[in-house]
């Protein structure tokens, strides 16, 4: 598999990489990149879509990001997460298909 960006989200992964002889430089969580990416998106005129969290959380985050960075929010979604035996969650996939 190929990726343009690989993040190590957890200190135990850094430790394990050292034990396995392929040391990773440091832990960088995806959440550490959110604000710098939002700032870059705003500066370049990119639109951002926020998905996840309890109902209302993405909308509140969108309002704060608009205020702080002036970023254009393309939309928000808070798809319901289900257990496997409950069947597929409705909403999230349909929202992504519309984008």
The DSSP secondary structure of 18-68, one letter per residue, reads HHTT--------HHHHHHHHHHHHHHHT-EEEEE-SSTTHHHHHHHHHHHH
Residue 70 is predicted with a pLDDT of: 98
Residue extents of the structural domains in the chain = 30-81+88-98
Residue 66 is predicted with a pLDDT of: 98
Residue 13 is predicted with a pLDDT of: 86
Sign of the dihedral defined by the CA atoms of residues 4, 79, 42, 32, in that order: negative
Residue 7 is predicted with a pLDDT of: 80
Residue 99 is predicted with a pLDDT of: 66
Residue 79 is predicted with a pLDDT of: 80
Beta bridge partners of 47: 72
Closest by alpha carbon to 34, among 61, 16, 11? 61
Provide the whole-model pTM. 0.67
Tens digits of pLDDT across the chain (99 residues)? 687 877 888 888 889 989 999 888 888 888 889 999 999 999 999 999 998 889 999 999 999 999 999 999 999 988 877 666 555 555 556 666 766
């Amino acid at each position: 598999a190929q990726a343009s960006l690989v993040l190590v989200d957890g200190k135990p992964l850094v430790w394990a990489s050292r034990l396995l002889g392929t040391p990773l430089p440091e832990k960088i969580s995806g959440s550490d990149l959110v604000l710098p990416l939002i700032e870059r998106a705003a500066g370049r005129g990119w639109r951002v879509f926020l998905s996840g969290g309890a109902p209302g959380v993405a909308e509140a985050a969108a309002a704060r990001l608009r205020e702080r960075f002036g970023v254009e929010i393309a939309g928000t979604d808070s798809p319901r997460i289900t257990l496997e035996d409950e069947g597929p969650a409705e909403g999230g996939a349909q929202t992504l298909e519309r984008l």
